[in-house]
Structure 1
Amino acid sequence: MKEILITYYGFTDADLTIMIDTDKNYLQPTGKNIKAKISEMVAAAQDGDVLFLHFSGHGTQIPSADGDEKDGKDEAICPTDMNVICDDDLRVLLKPLEAKPGVKFTFIADCCHSGTLLDHDTVQISGPKSGGPPPPAIDMGALAGFLGALGQPDGRDFKNRALPFNDLCGMLSQLLGGAPVDARSVRDSMGTIFGADSSAKIQQFMSMYQALTAGTKGGAAGGAGGILQMLCACLAPPADQNGPSGAPANAQSGPGANYAAPPAAAAGTLAEPNLKINYTPGAKPPANEQLGADVGILITGCQSHETSADACPSGNPDKAHGALSNAIQTVIKQQQVQAPGQPITYRNLVIAVREMLGKTGFAQNPCLECSDKNADTPFIVR
């Protein structure tokens, strides 16, 4: 994506902040760092500026507070340290842009459950690509052909993004210096690790989990563990944490209502924005607190209930990528060959991406979430 921004949209290296979890020379994409950088970018934006956020990673959904999976859920992106960022977090971070109508913000969310991440009322493009039933599961031969068209050798190592509950416990145990973690202690472990840096929604979820597991005996806790497994589906291994035990020095156990005021940021991290979110998971905020219709243009990897494909065609995990990101880059490059210098609109870009993914067997259905006015404006540029 960096190549596209610099080659076709006038960005420079100095304009870009890149977070990569596989290279310690870069700022790590932790929940705290991502939220802080978005907050910083929004605060510094001036009339005429173009803001761009590209997230390629894992996504999940947080169930409603009563544990009924059929009720409301919050979509969330999953940073490398498992400190998830929910749709309500994004809404609060982007809310100041309502006072800056001359700023254009584009968000590409190449992750599972990315539909409705900004909770806009207007969705321009959604649903199955063909207008009929969802396409079948991805065919590896078609995937290999698509990757070949993108200059990739083959489609091996195509994987889903589920993280078994036992693996999650193992990761948390490592972060706690080897202390055992199981279904009974996992909620306190997450509070200990992330403390005041955790998403308000995760803190609310831990309260829900505690209520679900209260009074259970024997294997009864397994059902509640299944909900936590759903929460943590599609998570990547966590980044290293500060301190000899793996837990931040300022960590506090247990859930909280809001983000607390953070301590001074450690080297290699950004200051945590002080967000206040008091809504029940899955609940919509009042209309006057929802994000304005013209604030933000979201292109998603899939609908809110779907997963997005990820592949590692070269066999090198460092070169794994998302299908949406590659399709967007391919469409833009083709557009520039066919009509040099002519911009492509958001609507036409998403239509072309959906067509490309459909022809190559990808089941996911990318969406365009924005106002009517923004849908037919040029991609990224004003």
Structure 2
Amino acid sequence: MEKGSRKRLAVLVGCNYPNTSYELHGCINDVLAMRESLVNRLGFDPTHIQLLIDDHHDQYGISSVIMPTGENIKKALETMIGEAQPGDILFFHYSGHGTRIPSMKPGKPFRCDEAIVPCDFNLITDVDFRHLVNMLPKGASFTILSDSCHSGGLIDKEKEQIGPTSFSSSSSTTESDKNGPKSLSFRPKIIPFQSILQHFISSTNINTFDIGTHLLETFGANASLKFRLHLFDLEILEPRLKSDDGGILLSGCQADETSADMSPNMEGGKAYGAFSNAVEMVLKAKSGQRLSNRELVMEARKVLKAQGLTQQHPCLYCRDENVDAAFLGLEKN
């Protein structure tokens, strides 16, 4: 049974991209582990947790699957927000590939914006997440935990609290850091923008380097708001009053970094996302204790550093009042 009178609702998305050149191995494991933690440690009702994964092999013990397409993910999030009441706690855990999109804003040719890559490549962008946060009823919170590359800043215009400009341990990477832990092999959870563009050029037969044209041709009204709205309309998607911004982003890395998908070099070892696993380790170590958003991110950084993953720095974005608020509102078990 859920703790207290507030509802806790969750959407969990794991994309392994099976049988593709972009295949990952730990993302579904990540969200299955999170589902268990939400129920057993954080007081979520299992009927209030929706799971979207792109594989239903028997090894996962799942018979039916909602595919994590861009449309299905946004529909699940919009439904969750539509069911929320003031004070409710909403959670979205994404484990999969991320990417960076060249900015469409005039005069900013070197700026990039962040996006996640659903299984059908229908990108969900920072603008979409800002729009979702703005839809929250007053007093509700929406925590996003994104274990993906370039995930820092995934909620457009959300305030950085722990990140490249607010924490001294930044993204310097030594030659030894790049190798990661010796007992594990890993793959960055990124599909480069140029690869996504070439995918759509091949599928649409439209010879343009404008990704928006390809996404609108392929997905129509289900494409990201970033490509459906005029630039003037995008500027309207500002955060609500600071005291009423319920968005909280825990990102697996900074906007210019990659997140790791780990594969143990031993038979029977279980693959996992480095950030998701670090969060699970912290939740287990702090079980029954109050854990703030700040503490969770800082402890996850320590875990990754101890594992040799010093090229990856989790970040926190939210309004000031939520920095030291309890993660997912759980004060104590």
TM-score bracket relative to the smaller structure = 0.7 to 0.9
DSSP 3-state at the match of 2:119:
coil
Change in CA separation of 1:133 and 1:169 when aligned onto 2, cut-off 3 Å: closer
Whether the 8 Å contact between 1:137 and 1:361 is mirrored in structure 2 is no
- The 2-side partners of 1:284 and 1:167 are apart by 23
Instruction: Give yes or no for the alignment of 1:342 onto 2:293.
Output: no
Larger Rg: 1
- Using the size of structure 2 for normalisation, the TM-score is 0.73
Instruction: Give yes or no for the alignment of 1:198 onto 2:198.
Output: no
Q: What root-mean-square deviation, in Å, do the aligned CA atoms of Structure 1 and Structure 2 show?
A: 3.3
Whether the 8 Å contact between 2:114 and 2:125 is mirrored in structure 1 is yes
Alpha-carbon shift at residue 125 of structure 1 (Å): 0.9
Q: Which runs of 5+ in 1 are unaligned?
A: 145-153, 204-257, 259-276
Change in CA separation of 1:375 and 1:84 when aligned onto 2, cut-off 3 Å: same
Instruction: Give yes or no for the alignment of 1:100 onto 2:138.
Output: yes
Q: Could you tell me which residue of structure 2 aligns to residue 366 of structure 1? A: 314
Identity of aligned residues (%): 36
Whether the 8 Å contact between 1:140 and 1:155 is mirrored in structure 2 is no
Alpha-carbon shift at residue 48 of structure 1 (Å): 3.1
Q: Could you tell me which residue of structure 2 aligns to residue 206 of structure 1? A: none
DSSP 3-state at the match of 2:291:
coil
Whether the 8 Å contact between 1:20 and 1:27 is mirrored in structure 2 is yes
Letter in 2 for 1:197: N
Count residues in correspondence: 285
Letter in 1 for 2:88: D
Whether the 8 Å contact between 1:118 and 1:291 is mirrored in structure 2 is no
Q: Could you tell me which residue of structure 1 aligns to residue 94 of structure 2? A: 55
- The 2-side partners of 1:76 and 1:199 are apart by 10
Q: Given the alignment, which residue of 234, 255, 261 partners 1:304?
A: 255
Q: Could you tell me which residue of structure 1 aligns to residue 125 of structure 2? A: 86
Instruction: Give yes or no for the alignment of 1:33 onto 2:58.
Output: no
Change in CA separation of 1:96 and 1:325 when aligned onto 2, cut-off 3 Å: same
Whether the 8 Å contact between 2:69 and 2:120 is mirrored in structure 1 is yes
- The 2-side partners of 1:291 and 1:83 are apart by 27
Deviations 1:56-99 (A, max 9, x none): 111112112379875332211111110001111111122121x4
Q: Could you tell me which residue of structure 2 aligns to residue 134 of structure 1? A: 172
Higher RCO (C-alpha 8 Å, min separation 6): 1
Change in CA separation of 1:160 and 1:351 when aligned onto 2, cut-off 3 Å: closer
DSSP 3-state at the match of 1:19:
strand
Whether the 8 Å contact between 1:31 and 1:82 is mirrored in structure 2 is yes
More strand, by proportion: 2
Alpha-carbon shift at residue 184 of structure 1 (Å): 5.6
Q: Could you tell me which residue of structure 1 aligns to residue 239 of structure 2? A: 290
Change in CA separation of 1:343 and 1:131 when aligned onto 2, cut-off 3 Å: same
- The 2-side partners of 1:8 and 1:56 are apart by 20
- Using the size of structure 1 for normalisation, the TM-score is 0.65
Alpha-carbon shift at residue 360 of structure 1 (Å): 2.1
Letter in 2 for 1:155: L
Letter in 2 for 1:321: Y
Q: Given the alignment, which residue of 319, 328, 331 partners 1:380?
A: 328
Alpha-carbon shift at residue 115 of structure 1 (Å): 1.0
